A and B are shown apart, each in its own frame.
Chain A
Amino acid sequence: MNSMERVITSMSHKEPDRVPVFHLFSHYGAKELGISIKEYFSDPGYVVEAQLRMRKKYSNDCLYTFFYAPIEIEAYGGEVVFVEDGPPNSGEPFIKNIDQIVKINPPVIKDSKPLQRVLEATSTLKKSVGDEIPIIGVVMSPFSLPVMQIGFEKYLELMYFRKDEFNQLMSINEAFCVSWANAQLEAGATAICYFDPLASPTMIERPTYLETGHKIAQKTLNQIKGPTATHLASGIGLPIVDDIVATGSAVLGFSGKDDVKAIKERAAGKICLLGNLNGIEMASWDKEKTRIEVKDLIKKAGKGGGFILSDNHGDIPWQVSEDVLLEIAETVKESGHYPIKAEE
Chain B
Amino acid sequence: MVEKRNLPIDDFLTALLHIDRIKAAEIFEHIYKDDRSFETLEHLTMETLERIGDGWEDGQLSLSQVYMSGIICEELIEQYIPKYKIAFKNKPQIAIAVLLDNHALGKRIVYSVLRAGGYDLIDFGQGLSVEEVVEKTMKEKIDILLISTLMLPSALKVKKVVESLRKEGSSASVVVGGAPFRLDSNLWQKVNADADGKNGTHVKEIIEKWEKEGKNHEFHGASHNINES
Interface residues of A (CB under 8 A from B): 81, 83-87, 89-93, 147, 151-153, 156, 159-160, 201-205, 208, 234, 236, 239, 256-257, 278-281, 283-284, 317-319
Main secondary structure on chain A at its contact with chain B?
loop
Q: Is the CB of B152 within 8 A of A156?
A: no
| B108, CB-defined interface residue at 8 Å | yes
Point out the residues of chain A lying under 8 angstroms from B180, CB to CB: 280
B153 lies within 8 A of chain A by Cβ: yes
Main secondary structure of the interface of B (DSSP, over half): helix
Q: How far is the CB of A38 from chain B (nearest CB, A)?
A: 14
The contact sample of 30 A-B pairs, CB cut-off 8 A, is A85-B153, A89-B100, A90-B102, A91-B102, A91-B127, A147-B103, A151-B103, A151-B104, A152-B103, A152-B104, A153-B67, A153-B105, A153-B108, A156-B64, A156-B67, A156-B68, A159-B64, A160-B19, A160-B68, A201-B59, A202-B63, A205-B62, A205-B64, A208-B62, A234-B179, A281-B184, A284-B184, A284-B186, A317-B152, A319-B152
Contact B59 A89 (CB under 8 A): no
CA distance A86 to B151 in the complex (A): 8
Cβ–Cβ < 8 Å partners of B184 in chain A: 278, 280-281, 283-284
Q: Are A203 and B63 in contact (CB under 8 A)?
A: yes
Q: How far is the CA of A86 from the CA of B56 in the complex (A)?
A: 27
From known contacts A86-B151, A156-B67, infer whether A256 and B183 are also in contact, taking CB-CB under 8 Å.
yes
- Kindly supply a per-residue 1/0 record for chain B positions 117-160, scoring 1 wherever the CB is within 8 Å of any chain A CB and 0 otherwise: 00000000001000000000000000000000011111010000
Instruction: Tell me the count of chain B residues lying within 8 A, CB to CB, of chain A.
Output: 31
Select B59's contact among A156, A202, A280, beta carbons within 8 Å: A202
> Would you call B62 and A153 a contact (CB within 8 A)?
no
Contact of A319 among B19, B102, B156 (CB under 8 A): B156
* A92-B102, A153-B105, A280-B180 as given contacts; A86 in contact with B64, CB under 8 Å: no
Output the least CB separation between B109 and chain A (Å): 10
* Nearest Cβ on chain A to B123's Cβ, whole angstroms: 13
Indicate whether B31 reaches chain A with its CB closer than 8 angstroms: no
- Contact, CB under 8 Å: A89 / B108: no
- The answer to whether B151 touches A87 (Cβ under 8 A) is yes
Assess the B153–A83 pair: CB atoms within 8 A.
yes
Cα A283 to Cα B95 in complex, Å, equals 30
Docked complex: B2-57 residues within 8 A CB-CB of A? 19, 56
**Minimal Cβ-Cβ distance residue in B for A257:** B59
User: When chains A and B are docked, how far (Å) is the Cα of A86 from the Cα of B150?
Assistant: 11
Q: Does the CB pair B59–A283 fall under 8 Å?
A: no
Q: Are B183 and A280 in contact (CB under 8 A)?
A: yes
The reply to whether A152 and B59 contact each other, CB–CB distance below 8 Å, is no
List residues of B (67-106) whose CB comes within 8 Å of A's CBs: 67-68, 100-105
Q: Hey, which chain B residues are within 8 Å of A201, CB to CB? A: 59, 62
Whether the Cβ atoms of B183 and A203 lie closer than 8 Å is: no
B62–A204 touching, CB < 8 Å: yes
Complexed CA–CA distance, A92 and B64 (Å) = 20
Residues on A with beta carbons closer than 8 Å to the beta carbon of B156 = 319
Do B190 and A284 touch (CB < 8 A)?
yes
Does chain A have a CB within 8 A of B207? no
CB-defined contacts of A234 to chain B, threshold 8 Å: 179, 183
Q: How far is the CA of A85 from the CA of B101 in the complex (A)?
A: 14
Asked whether B187 is an interface residue with its Cβ less than 8 Å from the other chain, the reply is yes
- The residue of chain B having its C-beta at the shortest distance from the C-beta of A317 within the complex is B152
Distance, CA A293 to CA B102, complexed state (A): 33
Find chain A residues with CB under 8 A from B152 CB. 86, 280, 283, 317-319
Verify if B61 is at the interface (C-beta below 8 Å from A).
Answer: yes
Q: Are B61 and A205 in contact (CB under 8 A)?
A: yes
Task: Give chain A nearest CB distance to B73 CB in angstroms.
Answer: 15
Cα-based distance from A91 to B104 in the complex (angstroms): 12
Bound-state CA distance A202–B100 (Å) is 23
Contacts A152-B105, A202-B59; is A83 near B183 (CB within 8 Å)? no
Q: Is B65 an interface position by the 8 A CB rule? A: yes
Distance in Å: Cβ of A257 to nearest Cβ of chain B: 7
| B105 contact set on A, CB distance < 8 A | 152-153
- Which 8 pairs from chain A and chain B are nearest by CB? A86-B153, A280-B183, A152-B105, A205-B62, A280-B184, A85-B153, A281-B184, A203-B63
Q: Most chain-B Cβ atoms within 10 A of its Cβ — which of A87, A90, A151, A319?
A: A151
